[in-house]
A = this chain, B = another copy of it.
Amino acid sequence: MAVNKSDNRTVIALDAMGGDDGAVMTIAGAALAHERYPKISFIICGDESVIGAELKRYPSLTAVSEVRHTPEWISPDQKPSKALRRGRKSSMRYAIDAVAKGEAVSVVSAGNTGALMAMAKFVLKTMLGIDRPAIATVFPTQVGESVVLDLGANLECDAENLIQFSLMGAIFCNAVLGITEPSIGLLNIGTEEMKGHDEVRMAASILRDRPLPGKFHGFIEGNDIMLGTVDVVVTDGFSGNIALKTAEGAVNLMAYFLRQSFKSSLFAKIGYFFARGALRKMKLRADPRRYNGAMFLGLQGVCVKSHGGTDPEGFANAIGVAFDLVDRRFNERIGEELAVHYGQMEDLESKRVKSLSAKAGKE
């Protein structure tokens, strides 16, 4: 069935072939999302025969879906540059193209992250006023959840990039976690004003004076991320990626030591027998990746990256995030906040020029 855009529906394009379990997982995930968000219509990109076979199980999903056939897809280990050059007929690219053409408002893929970023950036372009897109995710904390960005799209960031990430992160936090006036922290190696390199100190000094879609907390340190000191953690892609993966490593180490501890004595084994249900839940809760993937912020179009290894439940959640971002006008609000931000910068600049001219006049 062709998707009718006129009836106030939200059209989301899916890369049906991305992820470890391909169309079996993505179509089941779409069916779940359809139950939760009946307003979504889908453009499903990938191998028609496989998708068609899966869709037969879900007639009501089929009724709101259009299939775009292509036999090609991007493998998980393909280099981004190669994917960009040779992947023009891939299911991932078809899904992104649907957004570029205005047929869909958002793309969701569980495929190769680097390829998705490269293609999305090339095809969709960054938003007006955003120099570089950022990858964001949601971390579990002792008091709830926090947004962390950038997680690897930009290795080196200047102060202006960090400020743009702060704006986008705060709006994202509001749209996805529902936090009004989220607190924003810049990741640093100390909390005193003179700490850190030039970029982070300059970003802080600008953020202190600017109107923001949240409140600027100042610097935070690595341990603050999972303590939940702030709602939005802003950093460059190198440090952010290392923080995310180091946190994963520490959680895995604790889980490993925990298993060993429960084997270390008869008492401990008895303890495990009683506590195992609660413990399983705990590991899931502390996993920084449980929020299923990363969101690409700052593109002309909403792009959500689901885990490669996700299940239909996780993929449905990723579709839900895409829906929320569209529903809560995420991209439009970034545009509005940027206008305020740069408007104030122009005001300041014109005031500075006026005061200089006035001074010159007096002399």
Which residues of A are at the interface with B, using a C-beta cutoff of 8 A?
79, 140-142, 152, 155-156, 187, 189, 192, 196-197, 221-227, 235, 237-239, 241-258, 260-262, 264-265, 267-268, 270-279, 281-282, 285-286, 288
Contact B241 A243, beta carbon cutoff 8 Å:
no
Q: Please indicate which of the listed interface residues A238, A250, A257 has the most CB atoms of chain B within 10 Å of its own CB.
A: A250
- CB <8 Å contact, B197 and A222: no
On chain B, the residues within 8 Å of A225 by CB distance are: 246, 249
* Copies of this chain per assembly: 2
With A189-B152, A250-B246 as given contacts, are A238 and B197 in contact (CB-CB < 8 Å)?
Answer: yes
A-B contact pairs, 28 of them (CB 8 A): A79-B192, A142-B253, A152-B189, A155-B197, A189-B237, A197-B238, A222-B242, A222-B248, A223-B248, A223-B249, A226-B253, A239-B242, A243-B246, A247-B247, A247-B249, A254-B254, A257-B282, A260-B282, A261-B275, A261-B281, A264-B281, A267-B274, A267-B275, A267-B277, A268-B277, A271-B278, A272-B275, A274-B274
CB distance from A139 to the nearest CB of B (A): 9
| Residues in chain B near residue A241, CB distance under 8 A | 189, 221-222
Inter-chain CA distance A273–B271, complex, in Å, is: 7
The answer to whether A223 touches B197, judged by C-beta atoms less than 8 angstroms apart, is: no
Q: Are B249 and A278 in contact (CB under 8 A)?
A: no
A146 to chain B, nearest CB (A): 11
Q: Which of B141, B226, B282 contacts A246 (CB 8 A)?
A: B226
